[in-house]
Each structure stands twice: as structure tokens, then as C-alpha cells.
Amino acid sequence: MESSVRYPGQPSDEVTRKVVYKHVMAIAPIIFGLVLVVLAFIVAVVYYNSNESTFENILSPGLVSVIGFLVLMIISLLVLGSLWIWRRNKIVVTDFHLVDIDQIGLFNTAVSTLHLNEIQDITAKINGPIQHIFRYGTIIVQTAGERENFIFDFVPFPYDLERYILDLRKGGNNLEEKSK
């Protein structure tokens, strides 16, 4: 149990049963792109150092140092921001609710709450070889009434979470033993 994690507005008598963070593959394309930028930056520095005499009329060594520092600071901030946003995206399963917390950019958070009694059906999907290799997928929760379906993407071990939510909805009898 991860009772220390609470969603915004969670009643004090409601117990957090499980918290699922998005799979690391959710930020893999961003990190890969930043690695490519770093590699291009390294190539540019090596090229500048090997041809410094060609650039001495255009760029002074001091200016090159300032540009290099700024590029590295921007890349560092992008990496830290991406990691912060990724870590703040989660699914919180409580005794009564299923909560999707989506961090959208640095300063926008969307919290969607669904009562477990409103769940009509849950579908877990793993599509493609990458998702199979890294064991993540999508969970679609169909609800009663006019609400749209809840779609959770980049869920690690989606079939396990699907079974957990269904068991909790049915009464949660053996959840403590299964989670050990």
C-alpha cells in the first residue's frame, strides 16, 4: 500500500491502495532527442577546436564558452523538466476512486476522478513489439452514464493493473495477499 500518496481533494478517510506511475518509455523520445542534441553539440565543439583558426575572426573563445554554457544549461533544464513532468503523471487507486493525474507542461495539472462503482468495463492492451518488450500498454476504462472513457497510456504491466482494479471493484477480498 502506498497510503502516503494522496490525490488533490482526497477525503481523509479514503485509503490509497495503489499508485502507478507512467512507464519510462513515455519520455524516451524526449530524452533520445536531447541525447542527439548533446551529440551534435559535442561534434560542433570538436570541429570548432580542430578548426579554431578558421573561426577566430567570427567567434572569440570567450563567446564560444558562453554559448556552450548556455546550451548545456538549456539541455539540463529540459531534462530536469521532462523528468519532473513524467514523475508527476500517475494513476491513484483508492478504496473508492480511480484517479488519473496528468501533468501537462510545467504548470498545468489535470485530475480526473472516477468512482469505482461507475466502471462498466476495463480493457488492457499491449500493442506492438516495443510495448511487448518493455511491458507497458494502455488501459481503457468504460464508464456508466455520459462520461467519456478514461484512457491511461504508458501503463506498466497493464494486465496486472486491470485485474487489480476489477478485484478492488468486486470487493477487494484477496488484494493484500496478491500484492505481496
pLDDT in tens, 103-156: 998 899 999 889 998 888 999 999 999 999 999 999 999 987 677 788 999 999
In order, the DSSP letters of 68-107 are HHHHHHHHHHHHHHHHHHHHH-EEEEESSEEEEEEEETTT
Torsion angle, alpha carbons of 25, 167, 150, 21, to 10: -30
* pTM as predicted: 0.77
